[in-house]
Amino acid sequence: MQKRRLGHTTLEVPVIMLGGNVFGWTLDEAASFRLLDRAVDIGLNFIDTADVYAKWAPGNRGGESETILGKWFARSGKRNQIVLATKVGMDMGDGKQGLSAKYIAQAVEDSLRRLQTDRIDLYQSHKDDEKTPLEETLAAYDRLIREGKVRFIGASNYSGARLREALETSQRDGLPRYESLQPLYNLMERDKYESDLAPVVAEYGLGVIPYFSLAAGFLTGKYRASSDVNGKARGAMVQKYLNDRGFAVLQALDSIAAARHASLASVALAWLIAQPGITAPIASATSEAQLDDLAAALDLRLDGAALKKLSAASAA
């Protein structure tokens, strides 16, 4: 399987990252275990989650995804086969949020307990916290790295300016730097990343692990009309893509997928993998068939004409 380095670190990762947001949301514990077993069998051993997953689902409090992963680690004994990423900073309720040193120290212990592990391979700031000095946040991560609880750190949902400021702070103060960026980036969501974040990524050599790589499922082709999204878990997220531009992207995906005997999901991920600086797109799955589509993207090489066709359709 192909692997890529994550930023300047020694951490090598497969070029697809399995999203853990579905564990405890659209997948219950038993189904999550089956999916995780299958993922490891086919080489998808880079998993991303967050402490807040899946707080938005009725009856949840946050921590459900990490808890399921922890139970799976305990049952399967496969922790050492996994490159594990999680995140901190989103609102967990009761004032639990942000990137202060005090909160990070508490939140990492909560995540380690739920995950039933002694270390996190990639610990990410889930969103910027402008109320906390960058020096404080990075020093907190430094302590966790020195303690062996975290190997590397990353950022998500930062602006280009704040990401640059964080990287400059690390360099100036001799603190650990963000080695990765987790931005929103896919065929339907390009402008913010390409105009604001990509220049910083290129300058500092960060690894990029985009989330919503399949645009909340739109790029799989299963949502083509308003009737397709009604009552679906991600219906509200997908509705905004049901327009001329979205249909043009699906038409381009349809054409290339048919010619390559591939799924639309595999083609959309292959386009993303081919973009400059991209390390490992994040995509979730709720079935073995969907997992197979993710794995198939690893071996799908799009030629220049196909890449140009998709880029042109998505830029319209």
HSE at residue 254, side-chain half, CA atoms within 13 A, is 10
**To which residue do tokens 């089956």 refer?**
34
Q: Identify residue 76 by its one-letter amino acid code.
A: S
Helix (H) / strand (E) containing 180? strand 178-182
**To which residue do tokens 């040193």 refer?**
101
- Strand 3-5, strand 12-14: pairing: antiparallel
Does 53 qualify as catalytic in the annotation?
Answer: yes
Q: Identify residue 2 by its one-letter amino acid code.
A: Q
DSSP assignment, residue 215? G
Cβ burial, residue 292 (10 Å; 0-12/13-18/19+): middle
User: Among the options 53, 178, 185, 241, which is catalytic?
Assistant: 53
CA-to-CA separations, 64 to 7, 96, 121, 292, in angstroms, rounded: 29, 16, 19, 25
| Ramachandran sector of residue 287 (left: φ over 0; alpha: ψ -120 to 50; beta: rest) | beta
DSSP assignment, residue 62? S
**To which residue do tokens 């280009």 refer?**
160
Q: Identify residue 32 by its one-letter amino acid code.
A: S
Which residues lie below 8 Å from residue 49, measured CB to CB, with a gap of 6+?
20, 21, 23, 65, 66, 69, 84, 85, 86, 87
List residues with catalytic annotation. 53
